[in-house]
Amino acid sequence: MKTTIAEVSKYVGKEVTIGAWLANKRSSGKIAFLQLRDGTGFIQGVVEKSQVSEDVFKIAKSMTQETSLYVTGMVRVDERSPFGYELAVTNLEIIHEAVDYPITPKEHGVEFLMDHRHLWLRSKRQHAIMKIRNEIIRATYEFFNNNGFVKIDPPILTGSAPEGTTELFHTKYFDEDAYLSQSGQLYMEAAAMALGKVFSFGPTFRAEKSKTRRHLIEFWMIEPEMAFYEFEDNLKVQEQYVSYIVQSVLKNCSLELKTLDRDTSKLANIQAPFPRITYDEAIQLLHKKGFDDIQWGDDFGAPHETAIAESFDKPVFITHYPTVLKPFYMQPDPNRPNVVLCADLIAPEGYGEIIGGSERIHDYELLKQRLEEHNLPLDAYKWYLELRQYGSVPHSGFGLGLERTVAWICGVEHVRETIPFPRLLNRLYP
């Protein structure tokens, strides 16, 4: 029976054949232990000299790492392995022999691994991270579909820039200038006026010259936008959504979390509601923690976010930032116009901001004034302003950065491991 590693539990006591690669190997005179992978999972194949032909044992002993093969064997329960099963090998048929695979089981430097990302992806650790990334995406679609949202795809090539003009990737669009999208938000606002509750999931681009463990040049964002939702409603969606993805990963990716040595007790606790502090309170908290230099009006850097997060065991919302720190479209607080009705969600354990969101300005005159204050060309935003001319309503939304969320849930230090092929400062290959 031809099957996959993920399916072997159905065939205990039976003989199966699996297309696989050799990930690693140990052998002595009479027995060889093959660490096999097939993309769906990892399993140990045990080759006993007394149980197979001389030829098969010879292949087992000489087979090189990443050689592809068809392996046939009897499925056995194996209580010592975290996976729970192993294969008592009866036959091995080489498909293609891999010679001198560069990534050996010993330690390699990060730059070397990044240069070989196309191969590094095959490792058990990278496999686990990609499976968890996939589970977060799956749970995202499930959450929003279950809650009446419609998936909308904003364009990648755009003429207008929501998050400021300094980090734009410029390109020619025939005779016009265009930019790679840094956020689909403005289009999602238009879509919310048509479909009520919408969400997007797509790549976004920022020509940020930041070389940190939290920044990618190309990253994927989930951007929900909701008509008639005000500031408070927006935070509720966020805490429910983030709890939902964390609980889905806990439920469906226990093996992967184990592979990554993730402390799952920290994740089990992630349930709505999440704590909230205002920007003002965050400044006070930072002063108490010895950040004497930070003043009202300063933006928070990674060390500040980490210090704030240390006081909480769940993600924490920082709300009501100074208007001057935030983009033009955020709704000012009616009681205090020098702050906006926004919130950043800071992940625990030092993973930083995973969500930025706000209520949006829905008054035409105010929005126009804000565009002018930001020196943005009104003609490029004409269509966006028009959304405030025909039945404008209060609305809110947010953007969750997928890679930072994957890093946090996986407990992985750097975002470069959370996307299949990271685009970083100075790295466009592979």
Q: Which is nearer to ligand 4AD, 1 or 324 (CB)?
A: 324
Using CB under 5 A as the binding rule, whether residue 224 contacts Mg ion is answered as no
Distance CA 419, CA 211 (A): 16
Binds ligand 4AD by CB under 6 A, chosen from 242, 355, 409, 410: 355
Distance CA 5, CA 17 (A): 10
* Residues in 333-372 that interact with Mg ion by CB under 5 A: 356
Distance CA 227, CA 213 (A): 35
Task: Work out how close the CB of 347 gets to Mg ion at its nearest, in angstroms, rounded to a whole number.
Answer: 13
- The answer to whether 117 touches 423, Cβ cutoff 8 Å, is no
Task: Work out how close the CB of 284 gets to ligand 4AD at its nearest, in angstroms, rounded to a whole number.
Answer: 23
Task: Work out how close the CB of 283 gets to Mg ion at its nearest, in angstroms, rounded to a whole number.
Answer: 17
Using CB under 5 A as the binding rule, whether residue 162 contacts Mg ion is answered as no
Task: Work out how close the CB of 113 gets to ligand 4AD at its nearest, in angstroms, rounded to a whole number.
Answer: 20
Q: Which is nearer to ligand 4AD, 47 or 340 (CB)?
A: 340
* Residues in 124-143 that interact with ligand 4AD by CB under 6 A: none
Burial class (CB within 10 angstroms; exposed 0-12, middle 13-18, buried 19+) of 219:
buried
Q: Nearest 5°: phi and psi at 191?
A: -65, -35
Count of positions (residues) in the chain: 430
Q: Which amino acid is at 16?
A: V
Using CB under 6 A as the binding rule, whether residue 206 contacts ligand 4AD is answered as yes
> What stretch of H or E contains 173?
strand 170-173
Q: Copy the structure tokens of residue 355.
A: 């969500």
Going by C-alpha positions, the residue among 342, 301, 347 that lies closest to residue 324 is 342
75 binds, among ligand 4AD, Mg ion, none (CB under 5 to 8 A by kind): none
Using CB under 6 A as the binding rule, whether residue 403 contacts ligand 4AD is answered as yes
Q: Copy the structure tokens of residue 296.
A: 């009202």
Which DSSP category does 325 fall into? G
Using CB under 6 A as the binding rule, whether residue 370 contacts ligand 4AD is answered as no
Q: Which is nearer to Mg ion, 16 or 222 (CB)?
A: 222
Using CB under 6 A as the binding rule, whether residue 397 contacts ligand 4AD is answered as yes
Contacts of 277 (CB under 8 A, 6+ apart): 285, 308, 316, 317, 318, 319
Task: Work out how close the CB of 353 gets to ligand 4AD at its nearest, in angstroms, rounded to a whole number.
Answer: 4
* Residues in 154-183 that interact with ligand 4AD by CB under 6 A: 162-163, 183
Using CB under 6 A as the binding rule, whether residue 357 contacts ligand 4AD is answered as yes
Q: Copy the structure tokens of residue 121.
A: 């992806």
Residues that bind ligand 4AD (CB under 6 A): 162-163, 183, 185, 206, 208, 215-216, 219, 221, 223, 353-357, 397-399, 401, 403-404, 415
| Residues of the shown chain interacting with Mg ion in the complex, contacts defined by CB under 5 A | 356
